[in-house]
Amino acid sequence: MSYALGMVRQLVAVLLGGLLLTAGACNSLTGVDDLGVMPESSSSGSASDGGSSGTSGTSGTSGTSGTSGTSGTSGTSGTSGAVDGGDGGPPAPNFMLTNCGNNQVCLPTTDGWSPVAYLAFGTFGGSTCPAGWPTQLDSLKSGGGSCKCNCSPAGGSCAGSVDVRSGVACGGQPTPLAITAGVCTDLTTNLALPIAISPHLSGNAPTSCGAAVADNLNSPNKATTCSGATGTANAKCDVGELCFTKPTSPQSLAETCLIHDGEVSCPSKLATRTVIGTAVTDGRSCGATCACGTTSCSNGATLEAFSSPTCAASVRTVPADGSCTTTGAAPTGDSYRYTAGTGCNVTTPPAALGAVTYASPRTLCCSFGF
């Protein structure tokens, strides 16, 4: 009997142990850390049109149902390069313009660029291109110019003479100089530095200023280019460049330039940009109104000294605005000319309206003195 009872107790113990093991296993499988869903791989936003790529998303934290990583923000779109109002031509290249010999320079002959000699100051000695640049082409360019506002003082004037102060830091007492604005005065005097010149009005300064628009827009004019020069390979030139001799006699003032079809940007070393065409339509005009206001009579006033009694051979020009001039040549001379200010300045310039358009435009890129 006791033996049977012992066997029953052992069987119960075994059954209870199995149940406990099963419960422990189930408890292990349903733990928070083991059933968390693996996060999706984070995505990166793609940059559009040259923008920078988006920031990658952060992965989700594990959990009961782990959250997936947030996707990256999309890249900022790139800004297109300005072409000076051109037609979408190539961006401004960075040509080195290396010297490749005596009066010779490396110039590009690819990507639409061609070297030309530009007779920027006209066809001196007739319509003859420089030696070595035989093919002449006459085009048209804008005449340039601007819209200006002419101010006229009213209710007074800046006419008069000047006062001179010298001494340390120009702190001396003002001394009148016997001179009349706008007139060459034969006057021998020693004006040593430091010196300060100030207007000495003969009456009252202007109390108001009239305004009138001045249309200084110029008509289109001729632009002559010469091409056909022969370039040679040179070890100093980059790929796509040849060595050219700069234009000389008989057109010593001809400029070595590059030309490209369309309206495009110019390289930094040839930054003087001129658009030419087979025809030019100048649709520009000046607005009908502008405005002027009063200002100090010292604004723009100057005193110029000359080494002759007839205001020839300038020695020095100093501002007549009360500032202390301490360096440079002393304004000592045998004659003087005082230019008074107007007492007016432009407060609202006239509007520049319209634009210049070109038929078959081409862009000249030059650097005068290069």
Q: Quick one: pLDDT at residue 370? A: 53
Residue 146: pLDDT over 50: yes
User: What pTM was estimated for this model as a whole?
Assistant: 0.63
pLDDT, mean of residues 123-141: 80
Read off the pLDDT band of 127 (50, 70, 90): low
Residue 274, both tokens: 């001129």
6 lies in some domain: no
Which residues pair with residue 189 across a beta bridge?
333
Residue 205: pLDDT over 90: yes
Q: Do 340 and 228 sit in the same domain of this protein?
A: no
Taking the C-alpha atoms of residue 364 and residue 370, their distance in angstroms, rounded to an integer, is 14
- 33-76 pLDDT, tens digit per residue, is 322 223 333 333 333 333 333 333 333 333 333 333 333 333 32
Q: Do 210 and 300 sit in the same domain of this protein?
A: yes
168 lies in some domain: yes
Question: Which of 55-69, 97-111, 347-361 is least confident?
Answer: 55-69
Taking the C-alpha atoms of residue 177 and residue 185, their distance in angstroms, rounded to an integer, is 11
103 lies in some domain: yes
Q: Do 159 and 127 sit in the same domain of this protein?
A: no
- What is the DSSP code string of 13-48? HHHHHHHHHHHHHHHHHT-TTTSPPPPPPPP-PPP-
Q: Do 211 and 264 sit in the same domain of this protein?
A: no
50 lies in some domain: no
Q: Quick one: pLDDT at residue 122? A: 58
| Cβ proximity of 120 and 253 under 8 Å | yes
Q: What is the layout of strands, in order, in the sheet containing 324-325?
A: 175-177, 160-165, 195-201, 324-325
Q: Quick one: pLDDT at residue 302? A: 97
Q: Quick one: pLDDT at residue 252? A: 58
Number of domains in the chain: 2
- 76-90 pLDDT, tens digit per residue, is 222 222 233 334 455
**Distance of alpha carbon 273 from the chain centroid:** 13
114 lies in some domain: yes
15 lies in some domain: no
Q: Do 131 and 173 sit in the same domain of this protein?
A: no
Q: Do 128 and 164 sit in the same domain of this protein?
A: no
Residue 249: pLDDT over 60: yes
Q: Do 281 and 319 sit in the same domain of this protein?
A: no
Taking the C-alpha atoms of residue 190 and residue 333, their distance in angstroms, rounded to an integer, is 7
Q: Do 207 and 306 sit in the same domain of this protein?
A: yes
Helix H or strand E encompassing 2: helix 2-29
Q: 310: domain range? A: 154-215+296-348
Q: Do 229 and 246 sit in the same domain of this protein?
A: yes
pLDDT, mean of residues 221-227: 92
Q: Do 135 and 233 sit in the same domain of this protein?
A: yes
Read off the pLDDT band of 107 (50, 70, 90): very high
57 lies in some domain: no
20 lies in some domain: no
Q: Do 184 and 230 sit in the same domain of this protein?
A: no
Q: Do 356 and 211 sit in the same domain of this protein?
A: no
| Cβ proximity of 163 and 170 under 8 Å | no
